[in-house]
């Protein structure tokens, strides 16, 4: 009988091992079930956690920018090296290099900020969305097993029957700690869940290949283990690259929790 391989929870993925000063090691999802490539959101979340472990407790992530340089492999651990660029009066800046077998697979810059008062404005979440229970599960959700992702109509059916949309309900599958760093890292994990660069003008190319770079701005503290509305809008495609931006709202409150932008590789599909 087939035995399902060990699947670390998101909490376990974010519980990095300290192996030396500013040097951490993480574990991987499904390390031994034949799935060769790591989910990029896992690496980004762990890199942000490594950075956050080196800043004062009252400073929280407000932005991160990552570059996916090489595919990560599930069969090998990832080591995260943190560089403390600056600790100012209210901001801290960190750089994190994610390494496998001595090679850099991901680079992250992250900034942390203390809570400060200021003027407030936010855009509103749509109020006519279907309930998550009335939406179908994203067809390739097994690529990120610690997330629950539901497709919100209208949808597009790609060749092969994959149903995609520019709008999703997303959340972490488990209840997470009441810790803003943990919740922010979980949101980083979720923010890499995309549905492709869906435009009818681009039907002749691979609509959303490998991620090239990813930026995430944390706006208002939200829980990643509650349902979140993620809206993605394609902006531009040229030169074998496509750019889309997104917003993440908390379902219960309707507040804007984060915004993100991602660039993906979009090379022409090879003839069969």
> The whole model's pTM is what?
0.91
DSSP classification of residue 159? T
- Per DSSP, what are the bridge partners of residue 18? 24
Q: How confident is the model at residue 264 (pLDDT cuts 50, 70, 90)?
A: confident
Tens digit of each residue's pLDDT (9 = 90 or more) over 5-62: 568 999 999 999 999 999 999 999 876 556 788 999 999 999 999 999 999 999 999 9
Q: Are 160 and 207 within 8 A, CB to CB?
A: no
Domain extents in the chain: 10-115+124-265
> Is residue 154 reached through a cis peptide bond, with omega within 30 degrees of 0 on the bond before it?
yes
Q: Provide the token pair at 52.
A: 């956050």
The whole-number pLDDT of residue 31 equals: 65
Q: Are 4 and 37 within 8 A, CB to CB?
A: no
Indicate the length of the chain as a whole number: 272
Q: Provide the token pair at 114.
A: 């203390």
* Confidence check: pLDDT of 194 > 60: yes
Measure Cα distances from 138 to 100, 150, 233, 241 in Å.
Answer: 30, 5, 18, 24
On whether the 10-115+124-265 domain is CATH 2.40.160.210, my answer is yes
As annotated, the active-site residues are: 192, 211, 262
């Amino acid at each position: 009988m087939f035995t399902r391989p060990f699947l670390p929870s998101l909490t376990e993925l974010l519980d990095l091992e300290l192996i030396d000063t500013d040097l951490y090691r993480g574990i991987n999802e499904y390390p031994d079930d034949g799935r060769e490539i790591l989910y990029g959101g896992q690496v980004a979340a762990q890199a942000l956690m490594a950075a956050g472990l080196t800043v004062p407790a009252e400073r929280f992530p407000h932005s991160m920018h990552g570059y996916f340089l090489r595919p990560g492999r599930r069969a090998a651990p990832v080591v995260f090296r943190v560089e403390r660029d600056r600790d100012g009066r209210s901001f801290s800046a960190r750089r994190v290099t994610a390494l496998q077998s001595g090679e850099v697979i991901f680079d992250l810059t992250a900034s942390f900020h203390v809570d400060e008062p200021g003027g407030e404005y936010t855009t509103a979440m749509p109020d006519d969305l279907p309930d998550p229970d009335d939406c179908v599960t994203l067809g390739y959700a097994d690529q990120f097993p610690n997330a629950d992702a539901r497709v919100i109509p209208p949808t597009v059916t790609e060749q092969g029957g994959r149903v995609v949309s520019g709008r999703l309900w997303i959340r972490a599958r488990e209840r997470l700690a009441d810790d803003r760093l943990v919740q922010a890292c979980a949101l980083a994990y979720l923010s890499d869940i995309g549905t492709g660069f869906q435009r009818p003008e681009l039907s002749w190319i691979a609509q959303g290949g490998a991620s090239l770079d990813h930026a995430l701005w944390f706006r208002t503290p939200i829980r990643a283990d509650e349902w979140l509305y993620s809206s993605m809008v394609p902006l531009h495609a040229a030169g074998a690259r496509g750019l889309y931006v997104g917003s993440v709202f908390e379902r219960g409150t309707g507040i804007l929790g984060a915004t993100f932008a991602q660039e993906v590789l979009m090379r022409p599909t090879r003839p069969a």
